[in-house]
Amino acid sequence: MSEKNSVIMEVKNINLRFGGVIAIQNVSFNIFEGEIRAIIGPNGAGKSSMLNVINGFYHPQEGEVWFNGEKRPSMEPYQIAKTGIARTFQNIALFKGMTTIENVMTGRQLKMNKNFFWQMLRYGPAIDEEVQHRRRCEEIIDFLEINHIRKTPVGSLPYGLQKRVELARALAMDPKILLLDEPMAGMNVEEKQDMSRFIIDVNEEFGTTIALIEHDMAVVMDLADRVVVLDYGKLLADGTPAEVQSNQAVIDAYLGVPH
Amino acid sequence: MFYRETGQFKSKYKEELAAFPLAEDKVGIAILLVIAYVFIPIFGIPGLSFEFTMGAIMIPVFIFTITTLGLNILLGFAGQISLGTGAFMGVGAYSCYKIMTIFPDLNIIICVILSGFVTAIVGMIFGLPSLKIKGFYLIVATLAAQFFLEWAFIRVAWLYNYNDSGGIEGTNKEMFGLIVSGPQSDALTRYFIVLTLLVLLTWLASNVIRGRIGRSWMMIRDMDIAAELIGVRPLTAKLSAFAFSSFYIGISGALMVFFWLGAAEVESFDVSHSFTYLFMVIIGGLGSITGSYMGAALVWVIPVLIKEIGKTAFGFDAFVMENFSIIFLGVAIVVILIVEPHGLARLWQITKQKLRLWPFPY
Ligand SMILES: Nc1ncnc2c1ncn2[C@@H]1O[C@H](COP(=O)(O)OP(=O)(O)OP(=O)(O)O)[C@@H](O)[C@H]1O
Ligand SMILES: [Mg+2]
């Protein structure tokens, strides 16, 4: 793991409202390069909204997002994807009509640029590019152990595997920061262990910075280097798993609530 | 076990990325090409006159397959619906007519391809609403395009060179000393030209949909929000789909007039035709190139054959048979959609799957 003290991403005083609903209220925290950062909190705390702010899908009314030491101007999601932010979704958002390998290949979309002419001929530069990116995707597929379902349409896969394909697709973007929205929701213990192992491997082998939302506290305590706790859109605590776990406000607001 | 994947290992990704990675598919395509290029021109279709085979079956089926490919690119691959296909064929036909008027000596194939480009631009303009609206509202917008274009084909007399008939008509066009289009052209010559364009356009389409651009269309179709967060720009993806699709539809419209009908008026491009092409895509199978062939063939050939059989075998008059074939087509559509909502292409897939295991049930 790389040195964990340089800030790669920082959100400052984020305020996000939907009409009368205040989803995020004056939240600030940072993410170090190479760390696994967990975001936890009860349902409706604003966790997913926070990820949506980070990858540009939601535009907060107030606040700043700093990335790589620069204040990020207002951008469209597809532009933000270019800067190296990838994510998975709380409700799986795979391309249902495509196979596993095709889904993973979509992660390379931004790195491919051969024009319509070559695409039509599927020859020369276009096919070279396709082969080169295909190779990387096959590596990721090997890495996540989803070889056996390469050619399967993702719509017919069980839930746990779909989550894994989604991770593969995000990894195919070679992201600097990977945002995972409840990657283990709805999984059994064994699937959760597999997924935890993959997350750690991604972090260690590729050096990818990871921000993840997770409800399972045992998992969070195992995986995360640092934890942000949100509650009703407000920042409740921020620190190492041990610090957060012993924080009285967190115990009252969150750990006391059964999940 | 006629059809098998096992035992055919791909040592390079490049081989796997080829159009037909399976040897059986390659053989199948080769056989079809030989039938189309050699057998049908020599032997025709058994039981049918040569003229009927060419003029009523083969040439129109090939042309409508190009139309269906075009519409399928938009609807099946990019998920954007359009009811303006008839009118977009009109754009291809009228622009080809104008290009031929302005450049009388230009090779007609080049005129046809240029009219495809004109239609691509028009299609892109009428595709602009898709950036803001989806589904039902987009249908209405494309319907508006259909009616606007129909209006233009009647009111803008410049489009048909101010002639009294209000229609457009092909004249004899030569290529390498051979008359390829117009009243004196030979059906077989036109057959080969249309067939060759169809083969080329099929190849190009299958290339595009398997590459980066084709994937961007399917991403928008399947989950537009995720597509955007991965870096697909909806504007580029949608408009390129409209353009590419319209390119095909425009070419098919020009071919329809100058390589099949010989002349046309606005009725050849009306909304009922748009529906027919939509049926071809849906019956064949959304998002399938093979399905585009099957849908166009079935929807075109069955009514033609019913009419012909009714006329020659039973002596029914054309009007009765016309209605009968419409009813038959309607029933066929409903039955196919109930049996297999994914169209003929899926039925073909299932058959292939069975052939893979044959003679074992599993
Ligand atoms: N697009 C939206 N439009 C309106 N309200 C929204 C929208 N997105 C989120 N909200 C509201 O913002 C609040 C925070 O939602 P968010 O999805 O971020 O919570 P969460 O912490 O991810 O919860 P969960 O654990 O259930 O996933 C909720 O009250 C939610 O209803
Ligand atoms: Mg959430």
Query: What is the number of domains present in chain B?
Result: 1
Distances (CA, A) of A194 to A1, A34, A143, A174: 20, 21, 12, 21
What is the C-alpha separation between A167 and A164, in angstroms, rounded?
A: 5
Q: Which chain A residues are within 8 Å of B204, Cβ to Cβ? A: 120-121
Contact A227, A210 (CB under 8 A): no
Please report how many Cα atoms fall inside a 13 Å half-sphere around the Cα of residue A180, on the Cβ side: 33
Q: Which two tokens stand for residue B209?
A: 């949909």
B232/A119 Cβ within 8 A: no
Handedness of CA A81, A84, A88, A94 (dihedral sign): positive
Kindly state the helix (H) or strand (E) to which residue A10 belongs, with its residue range: strand A7-18
Closest chain A CA to residue B220: A95
pLDDT of residue A1: 43
Ligand 1: which residue has its CA nearest to atom 26?
A43
Q: Is the CB of A241 under 6 A from ligand 1?
A: no
The closest ligand to the CA of A41 turns out to be 1
Q: B219 and A109 in contact by Cβ < 8 A?
A: yes
Q: Encode pLDDT of A223-233 as tens digits.
A: 999 999 999 99
Give me the domain span that covers residue B252: 47-269
**B57, part of any domain:** yes
What pLDDT does B2 receive? 53
Using one digit for the tens of pLDDT, what is the confidence trace for A146-204? 999 999 999 999 999 999 999 999 999 999 999 999 999 888 899 999 999 999 999 99
Contact A86 B210 (CB under 8 A): no
Has residue B205 been placed in a domain?
Answer: yes
User: H helices of chain B, where?
Assistant: 13-16, 23-34, 40-43, 50-52, 59-72, 85-102, 108-127, 135-155, 187-210, 212-222, 224-230, 234-256, 271-284, 289-309, 318-339, 343-357
What would the DSSP string read from start to end of A21-43? EEEEEEEEEEEETT-EEEEE-ST
Kindly list the structural domains of chain A, giving each domain's residue range(s) and its CATH number in brackets, ordered by start: 1-84+178-212+223-259 (3.40.50.300), 92-174 (3.40.50.300)
**Is B237 within a domain?**
yes
Q: Which amino acid is at B130?
A: S
User: How far is the centre of ligand 1, averaged over its atoms, from the C-alpha of A44 (Å)?
Assistant: 5
Mean pLDDT on A2-27: 88
Q: CB A130 to CB B226 under 8 A?
A: no
DSSP character at residue B154: H
Phi, psi of B79 (to 5 degrees): 70, 20
Q: Report whether B111 contacts B100 (CB < 8 A).
A: yes
Residue B103 lies in a domain: yes
Q: Name the range with the highest mean pLDDT among A42-46, A212-216, B48-52, B69-73.
A: B69-73
Query: Does the distance separating the beta carbons of A126 and B218 come in below 8 Å?
Result: no
CB-nearest to A95 from B17, B211, B223 is B223
Is B148 a member of any domain?
Answer: yes
pLDDT in tens, chain B (362 residues): 455 555 555 556 677 777 666 777 788 899 999 999 999 999 988 888 898 999 999 999 999 999 999 999 999 999 999 999 999 999 999 999 999 999 999 999 999 999 999 999 999 999 999 988 888 899 999 999 999 999 999 999 899 889 888 889 888 888 888 888 888 888 999 999 999 999 999 999 999 999 999 999 999 999 998 999 898 999 999 999 999 999 999 999 999 999 999 999 999 999 999 999 999 999 999 999 999 999 999 999 988 888 888 877 777 777 788 788 888 888 888 888 888 878 888 888 888 777 776 666 55
A168 CA distance to ligand 1 middle (Å): 26
What lies within 8 Å, CB to CB, of A161 at 6+ separation is A146, A149
Which of residues 75 through 94 in chain B touch A, CB cutoff 8 A?
none
Asked whether residue A64 carries a pLDDT value surpassing 80, the answer given is yes
Q: Is residue B284 part of a domain?
A: no
Contacts of A48 (CB under 8 A, 6+ apart): A90, A181, A213
> A95: distance to nearest CA of chain B, Å?
5
- Chain B closest-CA separation from residue A98 CA (Å): 8
Residue A259 banded pLDDT, cuts 50, 70, 90: very low
